[in-house]
Structure 1
Amino acid sequence: MSSDRTTHHSPELLLAIDCGTQSVRALVFDRQGQLKARSQVSLEGYFSDQSGWVEQHGRYFWDSLCRACQKLWQQGIQPEQLAGVALTTQRATVIPVDQQGEPIRPAITWMDKREATDTPRLSFWWRAAFKFAGVSGTVKQFMRDAEINWLNQHQPDVMAKTHKFLLLSGYLNYQLSGEFKDSVGAQVGYLPFDYKTHHWAKPSSWKWQACPVKPEHLPELVAVSETLGHITEAAHQQTGLPKGLTIVAAAADKACETLGCGAIKSHQGQISYGTTATFNTLSKHYIEPLRYLPPYPAALPGHYTCEYQIYRGYWMVSWFKQQFAHKEVQQAESSEYSTEQLLDQQAAKIKPGADGLMLQPYWSPGVRYPGPEARGAIIGFNDSHTRAHIYRALLEGISFGLYQGKLKMQKRSGQTIRELFVSGGGAQSQTALQITADVFNLPVKLPHTFETSGLGAAINLAVNRGIYPDHPSAVNVMCHVKQEILPIAENVALYKKMHRNVYQKLYRRLSPLYRQLSELFSRQ
């Protein structure tokens, strides 16, 4: 696959389009990684026809992307200044389309919780192998979660009309390029993708049985940082992007975020405090962060992203705000501070440990870890606790959960994490940053821009266009540390005891009760 590289350095502005859960952002960086222009279009109106469903119209994503691009020209950016464009998106949002690339039904987003009840029956040999390995339950959950199986069961007419089964990244790349292509780095979802070889699975793989879709119904995969296509006349008319502008394959938002932080060495860890909170490290080798959980494709070509997730991570801040922070919401309306800033100020006044209050952050369980039966918990209440204590315990609980992931990854990889980068919306909380430094007992490095996912995509673009010879060279120039937060020894000692003596024991003690609750109260 040609990279369509060029050796001359003009024009040099780099456009990254970041389609997240809450907004689409068009971001223009210079070759030093400095953000020169930013436009944002909020994504609203996710809808649920039934409990647990979370859908969105595919066209809405595309129209929002077009609006975000058009707003750039109002900020003085000239289209001819752009060296190219790279796209990064939310993961695991799927859109079936027809031959013209038009969605046949609304997108099923990554937040959707529907499950298929009529799943494919694997061959005897695969069933025996999974039973022997002790992962039959995990494989069954994979098949229940696969959108393809739900559609085959409930909307076979949709599957019959489907020309291509695309992730959101593939759909938007088609709208831009007119070609059914997607980046290897974007393949995170319930699809027959081989995470070890970074190709569609071999014909003999069990995944084709578990996700019964024909190979011709999937897009062509393009390696990260290679040329994916060029802006079409139709896309030019709708976005204002120059016709023929090079489109470069980037990666999914979390992978780009790690690259945009500059965390590309094996001893470096990266925390994303987003809707899903994650702890990530990169590896040249295929290392499963948890047993039978594959590493995802990295935004650094030829590498893997080992990721530990807290599925509802910093979504819990929004949950807390909606349920308990009505006073702060009203105060924010008449002050210069946001609701989150007001809550952060209150949490900062609470001593580390929240006076013995501890939170287990499994508001939404994982399939593999901690397990599908898991629920959240807050323990240690007494009559002195306030909302501020609960909020601080929430921030500490997320950090404890991610620290647990770090320990598991170090054990599996044999690598010790010595540097820690933090990004995402939650990284704007100074209290959260200090808690993270203290729980991990590592200096926390805050990147110079909050748009690290977009910066990661821009780095892929810069290498493709020949501005830098390789990714380490680009990272060295384009990634900068804005602030470093040092751990406080007294807090480190307290958090170490809390983690060892309480947090590590919580799930084991509570999981039998979680199972009983799951039997009594179905989440269907």
Structure 2
Amino acid sequence: MSLLGIDIGTTHIKAGLFRENGSLIKLSIQKNIVHRDQSGHSYYNPEEMWEITTRAIQEATSAYDETIAAIGVTSMAESGVLLDRSTGKANSHIIPWFDRRTEAISARIGETIDPLAQFQKTGLHNSYKHGLAKLLWLKENGTGITENMVWVSTSDYIAYKLTGEIATDYTLAARTFAFQIDKKTWNTPLIEQFNLPDGVFPDALPSGNPVGNTSAGNVVEQGIPVAVSGHDHVCTMLAAGVADPGVTLNSIGTAEALVGSISERELGEAEYQSGFNFGCHVIPGKYFWMGGIQSSGGSVEWLRDQFSNQEMISYEAMEQLIDQGDQTPTGILYYPYLAGSGSPAPDPDAKGAFIGLRASHGKGDLYKALLEGTAYELNYMKKAAMEMDLGEVSRLISVGGGTNNKTWMQIKADVTNCKLTIPEISEVTLLGAALVAGRGCGLYENTEEVLDIVRETRRKQVTPDEDNHRRYSRIFEEGYLPLQQPLRNFYRTTR
């Protein structure tokens, strides 16, 4: 028996076939195409996304005859599309999580709610990213939202295309700002407050529970259970073995997240003031908390583009720039706010900055300072989490493309003074999607059996350098932290 995982990411769509023991059989990676309309808004074309997903599935399952026990779909959290229930056709483009067309609407939502009361229901601080703001934007911009319409995440959409059934899971429902994580139900009074139909959101199921079975004539054989496995970061947590307080996930991609687990509990003023977001875990009875860097790998790609001429400079060449310089901290501060800042101090108006440059600094210093700056921001999240008693955050499990950058990983360890554990898992998010579906469809008896599988994975360790940590700690405490707020204040005055 095997499991198929599907991951709808910001820049790529992946499909991976796994054995029951979690080992990868075959992988397909296809580019996810972001478009821009005449107003500069980013979007995905739903049918094009399905065609790309189809290619990924076909490639991952070709020349393999073993029975697929279940299919699990994970995705970026707040991206979604409006579907017509009766025809199954998309009535809008897919609006990505990062598109900021909804900022004004989000601000208006904030004026009509009690932010603490809403946080206690949803675990979220108001943001332009959420599904509710996207729905209201569509409504205000000429898209009719009738009783037949339903808002679905990209995971839900792909599951629908495979099965013909419409549903979501708790982790993705929770990113709409209209789902009560304490009761696992939609917030009907809030939905009615904004004059939206009662059924505008789909049925919400526990993560991994089957939505339906693959339909006849589909990209795979008929009758395979399909599950919405949930929010990509949370699926990654399961596959990385992040289930208990004190063990924390550091997921590094275009954006970067620090994510930990806590038992479900009533959220109050302290959690609200922390600035972190909370949500439903794929593990029953648990919540996750999350802080984020909006532009982490995105900062690397931005600087890489600046360093390039006719051809894009390679990662190896950028590493060589660092190797040619001093191996101690640069002393330069970089604030990775190219796309605003995330939790625990969310601010869409924050801007990136280099501080402390000299004429003697070269490209290698800038690149290393950029890596240091993302590590300082990670350390800031760690400090805030520990002050909130969300866990010791003494051990970080790092996953994602950034873990291939050895220099970056060592800087992270040195700045945070944490031992980094890097699971040697091929495509950890895909594996999480597959394992969640396998549990939901009965291939695994419970979550503990799934965790036993991932705990067997080989792992690399990155240990902090004590001398460098002392140097970085001083720069962080005396430079990075004190200048954070003045920098934010300055950019507010120049909007």
Q: TM-score by structure 1 length?
A: 0.85
Q: Structure 1 residue 279: deviation in Å? A: 0.4
In the other structure, the counterpart of 1:371 is: 347
Q: 1:214 to 1:329 in 2, by over 3 A?
A: same
Q: Does 1:435 align with 2:411?
A: yes
Aligned pairs (5 A) from 1:447-486: 447-479=423-455, 480-486=457-463
Q: 1:89 to 1:154 in 2, by over 3 A?
A: same
In the other structure, the counterpart of 2:374 is: 398
Q: 1:463 to 1:400 in 2, by over 3 A?
A: same
Contact kept in structure 1, 2:30 and 2:52, CA below 8 Å: yes
Report the residue type matching 1:50 in the other structure: S
In the other structure, the counterpart of 1:114 is: 101
Contact kept in structure 2, 1:141 and 1:367, CA below 8 Å: no
In the other structure, the counterpart of 2:151 is: 165
Contact kept in structure 1, 2:330 and 2:368, CA below 8 Å: no
**Which residue of 20, 30, 34 maps to 1:31?**
20
Mind listing any 5+ residue stretches in structure 1 that lack a counterpart? 1-11, 331-338, 519-524
Moved over 6 A (4+): 118-125, 128-131, 140-145
Aligned pairs (5 A) from 1:91-106: 91-98=77-84, 99-106=86-93
Q: Structure 1 residue 340: deviation in Å? A: 2.0
Give, in whole Å, the separation in 2 of the partners of 1:180 and 1:295: 25
Q: Deviations over 1:323-359 (max 9, x none)?
A: 22337726xxxxxxxx223213323444456532110
Q: Structure 1 residue 450: deviation in Å? A: 4.3
Q: Deviations over 1:412-459 (max 9, x none)?
A: 235212221111111111111111111121211111124111111122
Contact kept in structure 2, 1:459 and 1:471, CA below 8 Å: no
In the other structure, the counterpart of 2:489 is: 512
Give, in whole Å, the separation in 1 of the partners of 2:355 and 2:389: 33
Q: 1:372 to 1:42 in 2, by over 3 A?
A: closer
Q: Structure 1 residue 505: deviation in Å? A: 0.7
In the other structure, the counterpart of 1:186 is: 172
Give, in whole Å, the separation in 2 of the partners of 1:143 and 1:81: 37
Contact kept in structure 2, 1:96 and 1:162, CA below 8 Å: no
In the other structure, the counterpart of 2:465 is: 488
Give, in whole Å, the separation in 1 of the partners of 2:325 and 2:281: 38
Give, in whole Å, the separation in 2 of the partners of 1:376 and 1:16: 36
Q: Structure 1 residue 216: deviation in Å? A: 1.0
Q: 1:70 to 1:443 in 2, by over 3 A?
A: same
Q: 1:144 to 1:217 in 2, by over 3 A?
A: closer
Q: 1:197 to 1:491 in 2, by over 3 A?
A: farther
Report the residue type matching 2:320 in the other structure: Q
Give, in whole Å, the separation in 1 of the partners of 2:303 and 2:413: 23
Give, in whole Å, the separation in 1 of the partners of 2:42 and 2:111: 35
SS of the aligned residue for 2:30 comes to: strand
Give, in whole Å, the separation in 1 of the partners of 2:127 and 2:57: 42
Contact kept in structure 2, 1:459 and 1:475, CA below 8 Å: no
Contact kept in structure 1, 2:78 and 2:153, CA below 8 Å: yes
Q: Does 1:65 align with 2:53?
A: yes
Contact kept in structure 1, 2:258 and 2:290, CA below 8 Å: yes
Q: TM-score by structure 2 length?
A: 0.90
SS of the aligned residue for 1:396 comes to: helix
Contact kept in structure 2, 1:118 and 1:153, CA below 8 Å: no
SS of the aligned residue for 2:36 comes to: coil
Q: 1:144 to 1:22 in 2, by over 3 A?
A: closer
Give, in whole Å, the separation in 2 of the partners of 1:340 and 1:488: 24
Give, in whole Å, the separation in 1 of the partners of 2:315 and 2:473: 27
**Which residue of 343, 349, 355 maps to 2:330?**
355
Contact kept in structure 2, 1:96 and 1:166, CA below 8 Å: yes
Give, in whole Å, the separation in 1 of the partners of 2:43 and 2:380: 32
Identical amino acids, percent of aligned pairs:
22
Contact kept in structure 2, 1:26 and 1:38, CA below 8 Å: yes
**Which residue of 494, 497, 500 maps to 2:477?**
500
Report the residue type matching 1:502 in the other structure: G
Give, in whole Å, the separation in 2 of the partners of 1:272 and 1:185: 17
Give, in whole Å, the separation in 2 of the partners of 1:112 and 1:461: 29
Give, in whole Å, the separation in 2 of the partners of 1:388 and 1:310: 22
Q: 1:116 to 1:517 in 2, by over 3 A?
A: closer
Q: Structure 1 residue 207: deviation in Å? A: 5.9
Report the residue type matching 2:474 in the other structure: K
Report the residue type matching 2:437 in the other structure: L
In the other structure, the counterpart of 1:346 is: 321
Q: Does 1:56 align with 2:44?
A: yes
Q: Structure 1 residue 296: deviation in Å? A: 2.1
Equivalent pairs counted in the alignment come to 483
Mind listing any 5+ residue stretches in structure 2 that lack a counterpart? none
